[in-house]
Amino acid sequence: MSETTVYVPRDATALSLGAEDVAAAIAAEAGRRGESIRLVRNGSRGMFWIEPLVEVDVKGTRVAYGPVAGKDVARLFDAGFLAGGRHRLRLGPVEEIPYLKKQERLTFARVGVTDPLSIDDYRAHGGFRGLEKALGMAPGDVVQAVADSGLRGRGGAAFPTGIKWKTAADAPAGQKYVVCNADEGDSGTFADRMLIEGDPYCLIEGMTIAGLAVGATQGYVYLRIEYPHAQRVLEAAITQASRQGWLGGNIHGSGQSFHLHLRMAAGAYICGEETSMLESLEGKRGQIRYKPPLPAIKGLFGQPTVINNVITFASVPIILDRGAAFYAGHGAGRSRGTCTFQLAGNVKHGGLVEKAFGITLRELIDDYGGGTANGRPVRAVQVGGPLGAYIAPSQFDTALDYEAFAKIGGMIGHGGLVVFDDRVDMAAQARYAMEFCAIESCGKCTPCRIGSVRGVEVIDRIRAGIEREKNVVLLRDLCRTMLDGSLCALGGMAPFPVLSALDHFSEDFDKPPRRAAGRAARAVS
């Protein structure tokens, strides 16, 4: 009998839910029964409520079973799952699961599909085709293709990638750099982690294309220390790619060079800010730099540097491979292509949803997310990380494109959506936003360093019912100062969650007795 391929994810979230036990149990059980299997440790499909998600290749169709625990394995074998047999955990062909089927996976096309570290598998699924095309193009044409695709920075700032690359390409210098910002610090986001763990060559390919386009021969990935699984995968992938000639002094026999290095961060949220990250890469405190000069002109070690987020770089190979027009054919308004939304917090069907821009929050939270995990009503959703506004259900019909969302005072950021149920205390959330800013401020500018501490104090006074009206005015004034006076987005955006909580959930800022009464009233209504 020919061997059957069985997939068990090695994604960090899948592992945290017991995927290692499942993989070991499947290997042991197959050995015991004399079944010939090939166990592939893939990335995650991004449907975390059914992780660990085991897939079996049945005549070319991948049949899914999940969530599987180690103790289910023997019964799965009894049910003939290696031939796609019936079992209560059987979910059918994985690509027919509506959550996945309805998505538009461009950047994440291979995540969960391939063996992350197999270059053969990567190439069999279209990998390195973008790089091969780029090697045959003039650097200026590569930059133009990225510009034409309409790709904008997926890290949060949404700056047009083509313009950034052109600036760096035009800057004369002996040494230029490409830096990938993989310091994914926003709560509610895990797309960078999933991509690195599930398809690391895609990031390597995107960065190499950037190097060719702007004339940079050195690249760095700045990865969070909180992601040890991603670190191991990326280290192995860089070694493999170098060994097989996809990185190094002679990329795929072209005579061009690009050397990639992995650097680990050290737990400072601010180092996700690009200039702060550069300081950190240079071995310094992660204090932000004044801009200008732009990093594209004077960046790492004072040289022209292209800095993009993981998802931005990982979107480049498909743009080169399928063409700028294909990519730009997705999306809405000036937000072209797809966005990797991450459903997080108290949500029934948490995971990764890659969709073209223009989808509404309601579709994401209700249709994909299925509401809260515990069935209580959704009260608020924080979009775009700890510096993003809290959105009330009355605003859920807003389309998620950069401009439309900005109109309601929100920002898409890195695409994280954190769902809260009706028990959330929004004044406590506002306090946390200020507290977080105080903990993570780099200390360079006063509005952020001092303002955040004062913000916590003022919110404490409001919550204690001390001169509430006066202190609310003071808090709004403080927020204004931070918004206008901070040097970077940390102090400059920390007021967004605070102000949105004040605007939409002001009842939570009332004195404690009234707040309790308000919650009770909501619970009965």
Partner 1 sequence: MKVKPRTLAAPVALPPHDPGADLKPEIRDAVLDVSGRLGRLPGALLPVLHGVQQTLGYIPSESVGLIANRLNLSRAEVHGVISFYHFFRTEKPGERVIYLCRAEACQANGCAALETHAKKRLGVDYHQTTADGRYTLEPVYCLGNCACGPSLMIDGELHSRVTAKRFDRLLGIGAAAKESTS
Residues that bind partner 1 (CB under 8 A): 12-13, 15-17, 48-49, 69, 184-190, 192-193, 224-229, 263-269, 280-287, 301, 342-347, 350-351, 373, 382, 386, 416, 418-421, 424, 429, 432, 436, 439-440, 442
Q: How far is the CB of 435 from partner 1 (least distance, A)?
A: 10
C-alpha closest to that of 281 among 300, 307, 268: 300
Q: How far is the CB of 345 from partner 1 (least distance, A)?
A: 3
Q: How far is the CB of 377 from partner 1 (least distance, A)?
A: 13
**Residues 140, 157, 291, 217, Cα dihedral to 10°:** -40
Q: How far is the CB of 137 from partner 1 (least distance, A)?
A: 30
Q: How far is the CB of 433 from partner 1 (least distance, A)?
A: 9
C-alpha closest to that of 44 among 66, 26, 74: 66
Q: How far is the CB of 84 from partner 1 (least distance, A)?
A: 28
Q: How far is the CB of 245 from partner 1 (least distance, A)?
A: 24
Q: What share of the chain is helix, strand, coil (3-state, %, to 5)?
A: 50, 15, 35
Helix 200-214 and helix 228-243: axis angle, to 10°? 60
| Pairwise CA distance, residues 24 & 39, whole Å | 10
Q: How far is the CB of 141 from partner 1 (least distance, A)?
A: 31
176 contacts: CB under 8 Å, gap ≥ 6: 168, 214, 215, 216, 217, 218, 303, 304, 305, 306
| Pairwise CA distance, residues 257 & 237, whole Å | 17
Q: How far is the CB of 12 from partner 1 (least distance, A)?
A: 5
Nearer to partner 1 (CB atom), residue 17 or residue 478: 17
Which helix (DSSP H) or strand (DSSP E) does residue 90 occupy? strand 90-93
Nearer to partner 1 (CB atom), residue 162 or residue 185: 185
Nearer to partner 1 (CB atom), residue 424 or residue 499: 424
| Pairwise CA distance, residues 19 & 228, whole Å | 16
| Pairwise CA distance, residues 414 & 339, whole Å | 9
Residue type, 430: A
- Angle at Cα 152 formed by Cα 208 and Cα 182, nearest 5°? 55
Helix 200-214 and helix 191-198: axis angle, to 10°? 100
Nearer to partner 1 (CB atom), residue 16 or residue 36: 16
C-alpha closest to that of 308 among 433, 239, 208: 208
Nearer to partner 1 (CB atom), residue 155 or residue 350: 350
Nearer to partner 1 (CB atom), residue 284 or residue 291: 284
Nearer to partner 1 (CB atom), residue 269 or residue 509: 269
Per this entry, what is the length of the chain?
525
Nearer to partner 1 (CB atom), residue 416 or residue 491: 416
Q: How far is the CB of 250 from partner 1 (least distance, A)?
A: 22
Nearer to partner 1 (CB atom), residue 129 or residue 376: 376
Nearer to partner 1 (CB atom), residue 12 or residue 400: 12
Positive or negative CA dihedral for 34, 37, 43, 46? negative
DSSP 3-state assignment of 129? helix
